[in-house]
Structure 1
Amino acid sequence: MSEETSEPKIDLYRVVTRILRELKRTWIIVLALAAALSVYSYIKAKRAFVPRYESKALFKVSFGYNPDNILSSTSVYDNTAASQLAAAFPNLISTDVMRDLMLDRLGKPYINGYISARSFADSNLMLLTVRSTSPDDAYSVLCAVIDCYPQVAAYMTENPNIIISEAPSKPVGPYNSFSGKRPAAVGAAEGIVLGMIIVAVIAFCRKTITSTDELKAVVNLPILAAFPKLAVKKRRSGETSLLPAMQRGSFAEATRDMRIKLKKRLGENDKIIMVTGTLPGEGKTTVSVNLARTLAEDGARVVLVDGDLHRQDVACLLGEKDKKSGLADFLDGGIALSDCISVSEKYGFSYVSGSTGLERLYSADKKKLAEFFGALKNGFDYVIVDTPPCGVVSDSSTLCRYADGIIYVVKEDYARRTQILDAINGLSDRDVPIIGCVVNGISGSGRRYGYGYGYKYGYGYRYGYGYG
């Protein structure tokens, strides 16, 4: 293989998608940084702002110099004289003679002001300007220039006659004003850039699964199906119905793929299929219900067991509101197996889903568990067991000893790769074959699927997305 073809390629679409997905989670960081840096830049600019004052005087320049009286000469206006005088002004001001005269006139050790002069085209007018941080200094420096200028100018120009056209006045306010819009906008932009850099770093440090190819590379297991996100709006009554939406489009196609691949990988006597995952909220119950439904549609006798004794969601997902007896009731004793089994006439399969109970399955009577699953295996073609996440509680490890195979559900960009590997390795130690993986919540290009609910377990973790 050539060196060029062996180099890894960067999938820009996946990179951008990962960053945008992370931005949806952490947008508050970007917003907070933008707001903080905007305020900081505003305050910094406000503190650094210095009001400046300007005092001006307008002169008419002509030949005919009277060094003793700047206010008393009249002559023919000369445009060239004004231009020459304005051009020579910087050199004149910088002389030691002019500086000493002005310091003596001001009675200060320094000149607090910037002095400039300019002439106007086709005119004998010259504008003298002093800018300073103090209105008093701006005015006093300009007056000092007017007093001292003629004495020095006589030695540097050809006898100009300078007549005040507009006398200087003390400035009443600064010529500049503070505007915080620009520094605030710049600070906000810097905050957004910094926030996006942080989001990008978080996105690439989050070692989650974002595609079926990544999952294959991590776990080296077959992929049975990839379910898209499915967004279902709540009805006006407040109820939600996921199953009708799951029977259409890409979701229905993925369900059929899962059924076909599963049946190819099951042995003749393999009937009990456990569905589990790493963390709560990955959609294990959703996958379990759809697996039971598609197998029932194929003509099989199916029972779905809600094996999560801390949260019984199967009946809720099926739209069953009446409380039924479940696995916990059977294990507690005093109830027959037949009383635990309910039938979903709408979807064509049986299910066991009742009240919660038992803190942990490992404390349950193992003989009762074996009796329970043995009876179901004899009475049905398939027994689908929806279990709690094996990365959080140990119930899945207890239940898997009764299973013939395991389907492992992985939600896109959810559990970390190390968590997934640890959970799968723990199941592998139980000598129960993992049939394959189901990827849930895949983002489609141009389409948006998904299901979102928030329920809370009694044993300290929280579902944030999907059933199961």
Structure 2
Amino acid sequence: MDLRDYIMLLARRWRIVAAVLLLGAVVGYLGGHAETPQYKATATLFVPPPPAASGSRAPSYAAIAASPQVTAPVVHELGLPLTPGQLARRISADAPPGTALVRISADDPVPAAATRIANAVAQRLAVIVERLDRPAGGGSAPVRPTVAIPASVPSAPHLPTLLLDLTIGLLAGLVAGLVLALFMDGADSVLRTADALAVELDLIGGPPLLGTIPKDGRVARRSVAVLADPHGPRAEGYRRVRTNLRFVPSDRGAKVLAVTSALPGEGKTSTAVNLAAALAETGARVCLVDADLRRARVADTLGLTRSAGLSTALLGQAGLDDVLQHLDTFTVLASGPLPSNPTELLGTEAMRRTLLDLAERFDHVLVDTAPLLPVADATVLAPAVDGYLLVVRAHRTTRRELARSVRALQHTGTALTGTVLNGSSGRGDAGSYRCRRPTLARVPAPRRYRPVLQLLARPCGPTPHAIAPFPTTESALP
């Protein structure tokens, strides 16, 4: 992961990081209050250098201040409930550079006890220093250390330091929060909801989310929801995408729109077919092109033939008019026989001219393409299309796959028109406002009014003959 990935991680999981950071601060603050206060008393010992010495020996004497030769007599003298080793951990000594002073400090929960220990250690160290400097042949020592500044009783504890404890808690909380966020992000990198997808698109600079297509167990996945259940939540989801497409700004317009996804099985073909049917409901002239020349599914979905189609026209084996198949609501250009070189065929000038010709004949041209990540078929169409519609499968597409797909489309220089979340768990907004038949009075109406009531009791929405249903097949949509 690079710096950009960590920034995106923070943006996605900032609530977790903030919560753990706050918890660390609280723990640090409470831990500081729970600590036993420690008081420090300091005594200063003056150790003059010997006459023949070239420098001060104070640093050497400071090093033995916590030795057993000093602490053992102090424990016995003061009657402390400590061992010499335990007392040594409460003592610190240092020698300021360029001086003949040794500062001896002692910590204790009781201020007076800290003072007694510091003074006792200073006095005992003076005895040890004088003994060490005494000549081997006898006589008085050339150095007579003295306690220059006795320790005084401290008025305030030096530990705990709330600011230090709070800082440590914050740092520990930050590290723990980042680790937890990284773990959660790695354990659950799948995009599940529209909100999560919208946040991710904002982070990576992706196209806007145009709509959510919910699951609907009443409609088979292989069927065309806009036709099989025109008032169901899936059909309303596609109509919402249709409506939002009108408000997407684009330099070249969005007349020729390529529909793709990161990987197979995310619903790009079902989205293309249903969106074509939804656009046709408005009276627009729509052409659906199956440009997935590796796993063509449009013709099978609509019960059409693909013995001739796009590949036939691109190879010059038939004219465009000869391979177009006209349905009651829109026109389909099937894939035709699958070629051995689909990427090269889709990148030809003939493909660009074909889509340009269709754009002149129809109000909307939808191009079902191959997935982005496995092959380059979708990206070679960039010069021939006005924009891309990226289909994301809920509970399947990962954040990394989404980011790679968006980057691949951005590199083409063609507009990213929008994103569709397919197969979300919720019923969507349409599920709470379905079309219902009017409820009439239960009292039998007079005979002369019954024709009027029968007219009012018709289902709302399009009449059954407004859109002829397409036959379905057993092949599943990718």
TM-score normalized by structure 1? 0.49
Normalising by structure 2, what TM-score? 0.48
